[in-house]
Amino acid sequence: MKPILIIAAVLALALSACGAKTVPTIDPAQVQASAVAAASTMVALTQQAMPTETPVPPTDTPTDTPQPTPTIPPLPTSLVLASPTTGSSSSSGECSGPISVSKGDKLAAFKVNNKTKQLVTISFQLKKNAFGDCGYWSSTISASNSLFVSSLPLGCYNIYAFNQSGKPDWQNGYFGLCTGFNTDKFTINLSVTTVSVVAP
């Protein structure tokens, strides 16, 4: 009888050893630490991907200075008033700051199309016009986007464009675009190789 009891006890111990294993418990502090680390990584990547902020150009303020007598510029002979050229132009003194618009000065209208896949800066340099206004105006245009400019006075402009992000690194210009009393609306197309101007 004793051998049967011993065999039964051994079988009972063997069966209890083969039972289901206990499930390990998850530490909540470890789960929270992993979530915080993942969130911090996402915030850092988002901050890194954000573009840098570009300062807004100053707004022009009218002045009460006496206006010179305006003279009518010569009439254009073609729809596109000037051909694009290469080179650079510099200015100094009173024409090196932002463009100010005199009272009574008529305004031109420009639509600028950025046909590139880059952030682009466009700059208008106004040569001294009949009211004595001159200077610079600049803005950025996001990739494959358009910009409407209707705050610049009539006159002759040099136009500069260059990329702000990525490669290829390029800069182009269009020199001698003159707006007149009968032609004051222009479309400016920017590409990595040229700045082209079309009049209506």
3-state DSSP assignment of residue 113: strand
**Residue 136 included in any domain:** yes
The candidate with the shortest Cα–Cα distance to 158, out of 134, 141, 177, 140, is 177
- Which band of pLDDT confidence, cut at 50, 70 and 90, is reported for residue 27? low
Instruction: Report which listed range, 62-71, 74-83, 85-94, 183-192, is most confident.
Output: 183-192
Per-residue pLDDT at 200 exceeds 90: no
Phi, psi of 90 (to 5 degrees): -125, 155
| Number of domains forming the structure of the chain | 1
Per-residue pLDDT at 120 exceeds 80: yes
Q: Are 182 and 200 in contact (CB under 8 A)?
A: no
**Residue 145 included in any domain:** yes
Residue 104: the pLDDT is: 83
**Residue 102 included in any domain:** no
Which tokens is 62 given? 């009218």
**Residue 105 included in any domain:** no
Residue 147: the pLDDT is: 93
Strands 156-163, 185-190: parallel, antiparallel or unpaired by DSSP?
unpaired
Q: Which domain holds residue 150?
A: 117-198
**Residue 132 included in any domain:** yes
**Residue 22 included in any domain:** no
Per-residue pLDDT at 167 exceeds 90: no
Residue with the bigger pLDDT between 158 and 20: it is: 158
Q: Are 161 and 191 in contact (CB under 8 A)?
A: no
3-state DSSP assignment of residue 40: helix
C-alpha 154/C-alpha 105 separation (Å) is 7
Q: Please state whether the predicted TM-score (pTM) of the whole model is above 0.95.
A: no
**Residue 178 included in any domain:** yes
**Residue 73 included in any domain:** no
Residue 55: the pLDDT is: 64
3-state DSSP assignment of residue 54: coil
Vertex 86 angle, CA 148 and 132, to 5°? 55
